[in-house]
A and B are shown apart, each in its own frame.
Chain A
Amino acid sequence: MEILRTLPGDDVRQIMWRYADRFDLQMAIQSARSIARGLVARLVADGQRNTHEWTPRKAELLTAFDQSGLTALYMDPEDGGFIAGPKNLALSLVALELAWVDGGSATCSLASNLALAPIHEKGTPEQRHAYMGGCVPPQPGEDRVVKRGAFALTEALPYIGVDTGVVSGRVRVSDWQDGQEPMLQVEKRGRFITNMDFATFVTAAVDSDDPRIKGSCMVILEESDPGTFDRGTPTKKMVHQLSSTCDPVLNLTIPASRIIGGYEVRDGVIVPNFSHGEIIGSVFHRTRIPVGLMSSVKLLSAVEPVIRYHRNRFRGGDAAQPGTPRFDLGLQQKEDALQRLVDVWATGEAGMSLGLAAARLADEFDPIERAKDALLAERGVVGVRAQMSALRKVQAQAIEYVELLNAPVGKRDEARFQELDADALAKFVGLDALSNVLIPACKLWCTGQTAVMMREAVALVGGYGITEDCPGFLFQKWNDAQLEATYEGPEAVQRRHLTATMNNPVFLASLHAWVRELKDLAKTRPGLGAGVLATGLELWAWTLDHLQNATDPEGRKLYHNKRQGVTFPLADALCWLLGPYFLLKDILELEAKGGDNPVVADGLQGLVTFFLDLFHVQAARGTGEAGRLCAELVYGFRSPGQKCCAVGDAECVGPEELAHFVHLRSKADMCFTGSRLSKDRAGLALSQVMIPEALDYPI
């Protein structure tokens, strides 16, 4: 049987992650990679992470990003960028290339885009043009300084953090002459604001402190505005030191035209077109995807250094003679060393597949969202309520759409699918339901599980793992994952988001379609692990349904947004299952298309077998974790006095209303069949795979 011959390269990833025909993305990846494995790695190796301050050496990053086009990646061609259309996948791929070496450098590359995102999503055309264009580095012959932005939402304690409603930033009218544009006085004390050491503008969330301004909004503050633009002291962070973070104090006078998205004057009151809540909702929806991927990619980056350490462990000196297994395999003689690395790798693959599925979905979704907005405007449907009601009316079509979307291409009603695919509203509702699960799931699971599994990777390198000399910067990556789990909305925020979206019937229709697909696959290709995942998803769906109807012994509803003890673990359970599902899809894509590329065709069978083994490992793990969480939720809220069944503990078969759950649980256990054999095989493959002579970045 053929096994994995080399570590998967670009040709393989381009097929799996679906950008084989996007040379714009492939070029951006190469640019990011050369910066990551060159400049970024040198900065880390030279100890630049040991300072909190923004140093001239760290600032070299900005020049490198400018020169190689990464700064302009977010912009549209008309503003000086080079990629047309949505850029979620592009930004994700670049961020993960940088994070392969150092997460802080990726944050540094993304932060200006985060500052621009409110302007990009909701800004007026003038704002968009001025700031998107202004953030493109000057071209030869142009005489201007590039703008760089910071995004200031979080405030000094006790104000904005997870709870974005407790705004202390203030805006009031400072001067309003008849017939002239009002001048506003803005006060904002930020906390943990990225890019602040060198930002030339800040997009800040503020609330009205003046009866002549209605509600909250976001504003653009420039360093040249009259008043105080104090960048503040650097945050003494122990992670991501290649990004700049400070607690700024801003007190500035600005024209009202800096209200993001503009305003109207109604009865002598300035009414911003968008509240700060509306803006950050649309911003964070997308920007969280690269963060999840920045975490997961660390696990993939750990594979090569760990294998090399294990293999070389006893070489040199007289600890082992060439030709002996001890010399050739080193620690890879030991099953546990191999299999723990399989776990690390499988977790990384699942996270990558989930995150990139979310990124591609966001790219597909962006134009549909705009088409939906245009259609509703054309029909005169304005206001949030009216829009929600219009969208609710197409729920049945949206369900049908996602079912067809997930049905096998040759077997579905193609004409109907095309019809619904062209229906902007149905498609919007369908994709919205999916992205509202995939995006928070990616941020939550990829960051959280990387923080857990990077510890395993660090452990696999023994004492070196916790020294500065550890190849691959594993210790730093472990720590960095914790920040990635925190900024742009900590895990609690993602779980709260999932609580509101994972029970959406449109999403559930999609999930049930996945179950059907997996069951079909399990029939035609038994032993793959599709069965265990199908059972895990069924078990989860059953549990959700049960918890939505069940009450605790005091008669209180279990599935309720106040009961985070129910909804949060259920959200976690779902996330365990999503990664493996998208991983399987990516492997099947590779299997189907790899043969067309001569580079990939060579060794394809071994590669696919290996990836399927990783999938099986992760599907079993995911179903195991989800099953445990579901069991705790289903049984855990029954009072100790409530007997399981009439026969007593010894022969308990469970209460009747839970019979199906009991059946699914035991089926899930049986579905583990073969999963450890997959792990054995994957471990063996790791002991034989050819790796490069040396890491391609310094230590």
Chain B
Amino acid sequence: MSGLHIVVCGSIVPDPLQTLEPVTTPAGPGLKNEMMLPAILDPWAGHALFEAANLAKSVAGSKVYLVSLGPKAKLQQVMMTIGQKAPFELVVADGPASGFTDAAEVAAELAAAIEAIPGLDKSQLLVFGGWQSASRGAGATLQMLGERLGITDQFQGVDEIKMQADGSFTVLERIEGGSYQLSSCAGTPAVLGWATGNLPEPPNNPQIGMANMRLIMPALQKAKPAKVSTGEVSFVAVELPKQVRETRVVKDMALEEMAKEIVDWIRG
């Protein structure tokens, strides 16, 4: 089997510890001070990226691309961490990474960015991403992206991929009721929307970082502007999920006691 071309689609989301306050902007709904809030790589995309890097290591000659649609100045900050975690080449489409943009428009931009990657071999292509994102849980983007790229073997809620020597692979997908579905696929290309996967976040490795940066910085500089908007969608109201806070802060409580309390609560 020759090397895989793994394209991971993922962008940034505001750091979840920040105060996220919906506001109306001329471009549709947004978050208060969104541009100024520190961002992180979307955690679902993060799982996809780490799985991609791991897979690429096991199949000689493989290559990982991270395709990101997001504001490039903010992406650059996030790359200072993510760029140290796994070897990849960055492709940037400079546009909003908001949770309110239209998934179809985003998929179109991503498809265009992927099609434009020089030397990409579509027959060896695996498109990875999150099965949903931390800013928008619709789970729609990857499916539309796959369709646009003509890739119809699609898996969502993936926790594992196992490659065989002949290029076929098996995929473990989450399905309802806490169960898994095991599928086998004859070979690339395919789209995989990752759930959490099985890998921990790799520690930062500055040697990888320095090597990646040689390509990341030029990629950020030559990022093409991407036009995405809220599309046809009009938002009537936007609000954060209501927080029900009946929190008690308890130190040093035994795990069994905690579990018991939760069970009692569920039983009512």
A-side interface residues toward B, CB under 8 Å?
5-6, 9-11, 23-24, 26-31, 34, 64, 67-69, 72, 82, 597-599, 602-603, 690-696
Binary per-residue interface labels of chain B (250-268) against chain A in the complex, 1 for a CB within 8 Å, 0 otherwise: 0000000000000000000
| Contact with B35, one of A31, A82, A602, A694 (Cβ below 8 angstroms) | A602
Contacts of B74 in A (CB 8 A): 599
A67-B204, A599-B36, A599-B71 provided; 7 other pairs, C-beta below 8 A? A24-B206, A68-B206, A82-B207, A598-B73, A599-B73, A599-B77, A692-B17
| A82–B83 CA distance with the chains assembled, in angstroms | 15
- Tell me whether B98 is interfacial, beta carbon within 8 Å: no
Contacts of A34 in B (CB 8 A): 81, 204
| Contact with B203, one of A68, A691, A693 (Cβ below 8 angstroms) | A68
| Contact with B73, one of A11, A28, A82, A690 (Cβ below 8 angstroms) | A11
Contact A693–B84 (Cβ < 8 Å): no
Contact A69–B19 (Cβ < 8 Å): no
Contact B32–A28 (Cβ < 8 Å): no
| A599–B206 CA distance with the chains assembled, in angstroms | 25
Contact A30–B80 (Cβ < 8 Å): yes
Q: Which residue of B lies closest to A23 (CB)?
A: B213
Contact A27–B206 (Cβ < 8 Å): yes
Contact B36–A693 (Cβ < 8 Å): no
Contact B210–A82 (Cβ < 8 Å): yes
A-B residue pairs in contact (CB < 8 Å), sample of 22 = A5-B36, A6-B33, A23-B80, A26-B80, A27-B84, A30-B81, A30-B204, A31-B81, A31-B84, A68-B205, A69-B84, A69-B205, A69-B209, A82-B209, A597-B73, A598-B73, A599-B71, A599-B77, A602-B36, A603-B35, A691-B19, A696-B15
| A82–B84 CA distance with the chains assembled, in angstroms | 12
| Contact with A6, one of B17, B37, B81 (Cβ below 8 angstroms) | B37
| Contact with A603, one of B19, B36, B203 (Cβ below 8 angstroms) | B36
Contact A10–B36 (Cβ < 8 Å): no
- Tell me whether B217 is interfacial, beta carbon within 8 Å: yes
Q: How far does the Cβ of A38 sit from chain B's closest Cβ, in whole Å?
A: 10
| A9–B19 CA distance with the chains assembled, in angstroms | 14
Contacts of A69 in B (CB 8 A): 84, 204-207, 209
- Tell me whether B179 is interfacial, beta carbon within 8 Å: no
Contacts of A695 in B (CB 8 A): 17
- Tell me whether B234 is interfacial, beta carbon within 8 Å: no
Q: A23-B213, A598-B71, A599-B74 are in contact. Are A28 and B206 (CB under 8 A)?
A: yes
Q: Which residue of A lies closest to B209 (CB)?
A: A27
Q: How far does the Cβ of B218 sit from chain A's closest Cβ, in whole Å?
A: 12
Contact A10–B84 (Cβ < 8 Å): no
Contact A6–B36 (Cβ < 8 Å): yes
Contacts of B80 in A (CB 8 A): 23, 26-27, 29-30
Q: A30-B80, A690-B33, A694-B17 are in contact. Are A9 and B204 (CB under 8 A)?
A: no
Contact A696–B213 (Cβ < 8 Å): no
Contact A23–B217 (Cβ < 8 Å): yes
Contact A690–B32 (Cβ < 8 Å): yes
- Tell me whether B38 is interfacial, beta carbon within 8 Å: yes
| A602–B71 CA distance with the chains assembled, in angstroms | 13
- Tell me whether B18 is interfacial, beta carbon within 8 Å: yes
Q: Which residue of A lies closest to B211 (CB)?
A: A82
Residue of B32, B77, B217 contacting most chain A CB atoms (<10 Å)? B77
Q: Which residue of A lies closest to B206 (CB)?
A: A69
Q: How far does the Cβ of B3 sit from chain A's closest Cβ, in whole Å?
A: 21
Q: Which residue of B lies closest to A604 (CB)?
A: B36
| A690–B77 CA distance with the chains assembled, in angstroms | 21
Q: Which residue of B lies closest to A596 (CB)?
A: B73
Contact A27–B83 (Cβ < 8 Å): yes
Contacts of B209 in A (CB 8 A): 27, 69, 82
| A691–B19 CA distance with the chains assembled, in angstroms | 7
Contacts of B207 in A (CB 8 A): 69, 82
Contact B203–A64 (Cβ < 8 Å): yes
| A34–B200 CA distance with the chains assembled, in angstroms | 14
| Contact with A10, one of B35, B38, B71 (Cβ below 8 angstroms) | B38
Contacts of A31 in B (CB 8 A): 81, 84, 204, 206
Contacts of B205 in A (CB 8 A): 67-69
Contact B33–A603 (Cβ < 8 Å): yes
Contacts of B83 in A (CB 8 A): 27
| A149–B217 CA distance with the chains assembled, in angstroms | 36
Contacts of A23 in B (CB 8 A): 80, 213, 217
Q: How far does the Cβ of B109 sit from chain A's closest Cβ, in whole Å?
A: 19
| Contact with A5, one of B17, B33, B73, B210 (Cβ below 8 angstroms) | B33
Which residues in window 5-34 of B have CB below 8 A to A? 15, 17-19, 21, 32-33
Contacts of A29 in B (CB 8 A): 80
| A587–B7 CA distance with the chains assembled, in angstroms | 42
CB-CB nearest 6 A-B residue pairs: A69-B206, A31-B204, A30-B81, A602-B35, A26-B80, A67-B203
Q: Which residue of A lies closest to B84 (CB)?
A: A27
| A182–B19 CA distance with the chains assembled, in angstroms | 67
Q: A602-B35, A692-B17, A692-B19 are in contact. Are A10 and B203 (CB under 8 A)?
A: no
Q: Which residue of A lies closest to B34 (CB)?
A: A602
Residue of B83, B205, B209 contacting most chain A CB atoms (<10 Å)? B209
Contact B71–A9 (Cβ < 8 Å): no
Contact B17–A693 (Cβ < 8 Å): yes
Q: Which residue of B lies closest to A139 (CB)?
A: B207
Binary per-residue interface labels of chain B (183-216) against chain A in the complex, 1 for a CB within 8 Å, 0 otherwise: 0000000000000000000011111011001000
Which residues in window 61-90 of B have CB below 8 A to A? 71, 73-74, 77, 80-81, 83-84
Q: Which residue of B lies closest to A598 (CB)?
A: B73
Contacts of B35 in A (CB 8 A): 598-599, 602-603
Q: How far does the Cβ of A16 sit from chain B's closest Cβ, in whole Å?
A: 15
Contacts of B203 in A (CB 8 A): 64, 67-68
Q: How far does the Cβ of A401 sit from chain B's closest Cβ, in whole Å?
A: 34
Q: A30-B80, A692-B18 are in contact. Are A68 and B204 (CB under 8 A)?
A: yes
Q: Which residue of A lies closest to B213 (CB)?
A: A23
